[in-house]
Chain A
Amino acid sequence: MIPELGYGATVAALVLALWGASAAAVSARTGRLNLLHSGERAAIGVWVLITACIALMLYAFLTFDFSVRYVAFNTNRGTPFYYRITALWGALEGSIVLWAWMLSIYTLIVVVQYRRRQPELYPWVLSVMLGILAFFLLVMTIPAPPFERLSPIPPDGRGLNPLLEDSGMITHPVALYLGFTGFTVPFAFAVAALILRRTGEEWITITRRWTIIAWYFLSLGLLIGGWWSYHVLGWGGYWAWDPVENAAFMPWLTATAFLHSVMIQERRRMLKLWNLALIFLTFGLTLFGTFLTRSGIIGSVHSFTQGSIGIFFLGFLALVLLGSFSLLASRVGRLRAEGVLDSVVSRESMFLLNNLFLVAAAFTVFFGTVFPLLSEAVRGVKISVGAPFFNLVNIPIFLALLFLMGVGPLIAWRRASAENLKRNFLKPVLAGIVVAALMRALGVGNALVLTAIALVVFVAGTIALDLFRAVRARRRSGDGWPAATLGLLLRQNRRYGGFIVHLGILVVALGVAGSQAWSVQTEVTLQKGQTVDLAGYHVRFDGLSATEESNHAKVTGAFTLSNGRRGETVLLPGRKFYPQEQTPIAAVDYRLGFLEDVYLVLGDFSRDGSQATVKLQVNRMVSWLWLGGLVLTLGAALAILPEARRPA
């Protein structure tokens, strides 16, 4: 019953979305309000139907309805309750449902928020959003139907991909998709603005908070993805330049560029064409990411699924890119800058440079990701460029971006005077140099790390200096330090939210630099009772035990960790054997710390439990990545607060 109900709801939603998109477009042309209202009702209907799809799917998962192919392939009777819910987006078909659902929610919010406030742009925005929604519903109808019936009904399902049985999988896809789908709103407004030839700052101002929210969720999704990779995959890293990771990273880079370049348009009425291109590119890249990871054109260590869906996505990507860029090109005459670049030493040019570097980074990641295809097309051999390529090209770019992060927000608009430069940057530059020299004296030899530290201190210094001056100025009106600081943060929330986000990025940057430079590892085979030493830690192998879990067997090794200072801790890394999987899955155990994590992976072992191979890593400063994520969250939250008053 569920397959038919679900399929029916999907088709009905598709028809409604198509109708709504057309009705809204016609009403935008003709001004017929009854059509617009019909389009709005369609948007509500689409949301109701997709919600029904989600509810049906959840019901099927919770009741083990294996007549639904998707349920049978992503769960079995042993799957714990909790993961029967997350299994909803554990594979391709379900993630498309989740995607469509989020998009339908965003569409509803747009209806509620802008129906009255933006009467001209709104019909086109609604039309574009429903059109995009229709595409995802089409995918749900033809190439990736989540409600496909499985016949005969198997007695038990295949089971969820064991790597996805992890708490990170609750939040990671949700955050990532909230980010991906979030860019649909600024995209739709940009298209609407171009159609109506309203090429001013309007669309940017309206969608500013949307862009920040989408950007924030995308950042969060990337960080949680790193956390998942770190504690589940068992290789001790958090980022591997894998195509799937790159797919999420590219729109992040262009979106970051967009967030910055819109400020120049708002302030100086420049870069109009560039901003439109950036948002089109960002939206295109979110589609490209899905295309890349789902079409199977590029092999990846975690390419989860493949199928004819790739052709649909490529077609839609072509439509979106050709359509939006043609529209852009047809309005090119109206997109001339009203302001001019007065000087190279100015905030405008710093932001331009920032954009250049971010887009360059996005391009190199794109180039590296599709390189296997390119080399096969041109030379007939498939060659992958691995982490060395990405690191080589991107490390200098990111260091330059760090530098600009310090300069950009404080340098004067139009033309910076020597006085402005000295006032804002002399002390931070000195602080950076002094700290780096100090670290050098303390024995840090790695030039890249020293550069990164110097830059981080410099940027943190500029922010601290600026905040200090602003708070001091407010204190003159009689507030105490805390009240003055809080008042400043709230009054200029956009500016200081941005600064806090920058601080978060600095913390992440330190985490990346530190973990790359200072982590150590060893791999040894231990007899029972034997100890391995690494970086001041002693790890003793105490034996193995086997347990039978609801859907897998698990062999756990007991290891006692001590470092002479604190008491002993028992770490229990294991290997999980799922009947449906070809290779065992590592269950990592670790002790996280502010400065270093002890990370233990169980490798091969003898059946009698007398010996085991173990990989021991002491990973430095990885926790800073997650801390940085928290700081980022605070900053983003502050930045999206409504701007109550204009800054003084």
Chain B
Amino acid sequence: MRASWLRWAIPAAVVPVLMLLAYGFKTNPHEIPSPLLDRPAAAFTLTTFGGSPVSLESLRGKVVMLNFWASWCRPACYEEAPTLERTWREYKDKGVMVVGVDIQDRAEAAQKFLAEFGHSFPNAPDPAGRVAVDYGVYGVPETFFIDRKGRVRFKQVGALTDEIARQRLDTLLKEPW
């Protein structure tokens, strides 16, 4: 009889949709795909707070972790700040460069932030916001992982963790150069 299979088929039709939605809990909405992935990273030349120049061009051959931050970005930038410094100390002798770009900030506040966390990697203000625009930064913090050939390979939106940083850098360092 027609009705007997409908009895099961109608409610069963709902199940796959519910399963898909449940799957959503396992995914991370912060992993936003960037159109920049696997494309050459935009070149930039900035002057660090210390007064020395830093450019992407000069870092070719190194894996670059490019972090956009601001002193007013609470709490995420404050959460990830120790991670950045730890990662830098752990990886600086393995061919990794960490560069911080401070956007839409006041110099005093930014320097207080750097002093508070004792950042020893180069950090530079982005006065006109040009670099942030080139990288399509939507909010801070955002971190871009650039491989030795100068291509953007990963993008992290929101606070970085030690695990993510390690995993991304190890992947890029393992690649042949």
Contacts and interface: CB of A to CB of B under 8 A. Distances in A.
A370 B31 CA distance: 16
A291 B15 CA distance: 16
Contacts of A332: 3, 6-7, 10
Contacts of B20: 370, 373-374, 377
Interface residues on B, range: 20 to 34
A333 B21 CA distance: 31
Contacts of A297: 21, 24-25, 27, 29
Contacts, number: 81
Interface in A591-628: 604
B23 A377 contact: yes
A325 interface: yes
A299 B10 CA distance: 30
A329 B21 contact: no
A314 B21 contact: yes
A311 B22 CA distance: 8
Contact of B33 (A298, A382, A582): A382
B10 A329 contact: yes
Interface stretch (A62-70, A75-83, A316-324, A423-431): A316-324
A373 B23 contact: yes
A373 B3 contact: no
A329 B8 contact: yes
Contacts of B29: 296-299, 303, 306
A333 B2 CA distance: 9
A370 B20 CA distance: 9
Interface string A30-42: 0000000000000
Interface string B21-65: 111110101111100000000000000000000000000000000
B162 to A, nearest CB: 23
Contacts of B25: 295, 297, 310-311, 314
B31 A582 contact: no
Nearest to A376: B27
B110 interface: no
Contacts of A333: 3
Contact of B11 (A291, A325, A383): A325
A297 B129 CA distance: 31
Contact of A322 (B14, B21, B30): B14
Contacts of B7: 326, 329-330, 332
B171 to A, nearest CB: 16
A384 B32 CA distance: 9
Given A297-B29, A326-B11, A314 B3 contact: no
A328 interface: yes
B83 interface: no
B24 A298 contact: yes
Contacts of B32: 299, 382
Contacts of B11: 321-322, 325-326, 329
A381 interface: yes
A547 interface: no
A381 B29 CA distance: 12
A328 B30 CA distance: 39
Contacts of A317: 18, 21
Nearest to A330: B7
B72 interface: yes
B73 interface: yes
Contacts of B161: none
A104 to B, nearest CB: 28
Q: Which of B21, B30, B73, B129 has the most CB of A within 10 A?
A: B21
A321 B24 contact: no
B81 interface: no
B139 interface: yes
A583 interface: yes
A318 B18 CA distance: 7
A125 to B, nearest CB: 22
Interface string B120-148: 00000000010000000001100000000
B38 to A, nearest CB: 12
A372 to B, nearest CB: 8
A345 B84 CA distance: 70
Nearest to A604: B129
B70 interface: yes
Contacts of A326: 7, 10-11
Contacts of B72: 579, 582
Nearest to A318: B18
A502 to B, nearest CB: 32
Given A321-B14, A604-B129, A582 B73 contact: yes
A583 B22 CA distance: 33
A330 B25 CA distance: 32
A317 B29 CA distance: 21
Nearest to A298: B29
A291 B129 contact: no
Contacts of B73: 582
Q: Which of B6, B31, B104 has the most CB of A within 10 A?
A: B6
Nearest to B32: A299
Given A299-B32, A321-B18, A382-B31, A328 B24 contact: no
Contacts of A373: 20-21, 23-24, 27
A434 B29 CA distance: 51
A328 B10 contact: yes
Given A322-B11, A332-B3, A332-B10, A582 B27 contact: no
Nearest to B157: A299
Contacts of B23: 373, 377
Q: Which of B27, B30, B104 has the most CB of A within 10 A?
A: B27
A448 to B, nearest CB: 28
10 contacts: A298-B29, A299-B29, A303-B29, A326-B11, A328-B10, A329-B8, A330-B7, A333-B3, A377-B20, A582-B140
**6 tightest Cβ-Cβ pairs between the two chains A and B:** A297-B24, A299-B29, A329-B10, A325-B11, A329-B7, A326-B11
Given A318-B18, A322-B15, A582-B73, 5 more contacts: A297-B21, A325-B10, A325-B13, A326-B10, A382-B31
